[in-house]
Amino acid sequence: MIQYRFEEEREFALKHAKALSHARAIAIIQSGVLSSSEDTKALADFYWAMVDATVGDNASDTEQWLERLYSSFHIAASNAGFSDAWDDSIPE
């Protein structure tokens, strides 16, 4: 289960998943469940695509929401037993 510290984290992620037309990330965020390593990889791929898409974003709180989401997603992956899938998806 993906547990967010703030509801705005989920809203931020969902807004960006829709903007990026990332259907699998939308489904994962809406369900709040990581049920496989493939889900975890898809969520990680979405996360890093969202980071790339927000580079240069002038909103002062974007970096803060990205950091919070990273923590929420990483913890969810670890709790679901898929931390290796998350870690393997971090760009070098």
Other C-beta atoms closer than 10 Å to the C-beta of 71 total 13
Task: Note whether 9 and 72 are within 8 A (CB).
Answer: yes
Q: Is the pLDDT score of 58 beyond 90?
A: no
- State whether the Cα torsion 25-26-32-36 is positive or negative: negative
Residue 91 has pLDDT above 90, yes or no: no
pLDDT of residue 65: 93
User: What predicted TM-score, i.e. pTM, was given to this entire model?
Assistant: 0.92
Domain layout of the chain by residue ranges = 7-88
pLDDT at residue 90, as a whole number = 87
**If you search the block for the tokens 């547990």, which residue do you land on?**
3
* 8: its two tokens: 């705005």
**How many residues are present in the chain?**
92
Q: Taking residues 39-59, what's their average pLDDT?
A: 90
**DSSP state, residue 80:** T
Per-chain mean pLDDT for the chain: 93
